[in-house]
Amino acid sequence: MGLQDNVEKMQQRQQYKNLWQIDLMGTVTADTGFCCFACFCGPCVSYLLRKRALYDDMTRYKCCAGYMPCSGKFCESKCPEFCLITEVCCCFGTSVSSTRYLLQDEFNIQTTPCDNCIIGFMIILKQISCIFSILACLTGSSEIKDIADVLGCIARNGLLLGLCLHSDPAQH
């Protein structure tokens, strides 16, 4: 999928008519237990939600749900379970976003301004975390490394919480 294709897809999502059954701000209170599980084992939840979004049919699996340039280039059809495990562990944020886009495109669910704000904030937090990690490497400061870890954890869990209840295809 080229850059122009991605831009066109983002523009199309603005025209979708359906809404999430539960908005992004309401996910934590709608299923608190599942969201707590998501906070403690993000990659596990991302794995489960992608499988659910694929209706447990791993023959439909593509790396990053087909939204990244790497999609389809890793022989995913030969070992989709292993590839999904690798994706959620090594490319966690991308795996969460890809599952969200997969559902939005399948069910014509629009991205709301609140979604954009929260997702954008989480991306910015992740970038700040990255900057702090680089500074920690350069300075050898364990305090800066701790700050980077906390920011990264908040960003990772915020992304996953936003997805945790949006990923049930049966709800749409």
Of 164, 132, 137, 135, whose CA–CA distance to 151 is shortest? Answer: 132
Tens-digit pLDDT profile for residues 111-146: 777 777 777 787 788 889 889 999 999 999 999 999
Please tell me the total count of domains within the chain: 1
Q: What is the 3-state secondary structure (H, E, C) of the chain?
A: CCHHHHHHHHHHHHHCCECCCCCHHHHHHHCHHHHHHHHHCHHHHHHHHHHHHCCCCHHHCCHHHHCCCCCCCCCCCCCHHHHHHHHHHHCHHHHHHHHHHHHHHHHCECCCHHHHHHHHHHHHHHHHHHHHHHHHHHHCCHHHHHHHHHHHHHHHHHHHHHHHCCCCHHHC
**Pairwise pLDDT comparison (166 vs 120), residue with the higher score:** 120
Q: What is the largest CA-CA distance in the chain?
A: 50
**Pairwise pLDDT comparison (151 vs 5), residue with the higher score:** 151
- Chain-centroid distance of CA 140 in Å reads 31
Tens-digit pLDDT profile for residues 40-85: 888 899 999 999 999 999 999 999 898 888 788 878 889 999 999 9
| Percent of the chain clearing pLDDT 70 (strictly above) | 87
Query: Best-predicted range by mean pLDDT among 20-29, 38-47, 156-165?
Result: 38-47
CB 143 within 8 A of CB 80: no
| Angle between helix 142-164 and helix 32-40 axes, rounded to 10 deg | 140
- Chain-centroid distance of CA 63 in Å reads 13
Position 169 confidence tier, pLDDT thresholds 50, 70, 90: very low
Look at residue 161 and tell me whether its pLDDT is greater than 90.
no
Question: How confident is the model at residue 107, as a pLDDT?
Answer: 92
Structural domain containing residue 9: 3-171
Length, in residues, of the chain: 172
CB 4 within 8 A of CB 133: no
Question: How confident is the model at residue 158, as a pLDDT?
Answer: 66
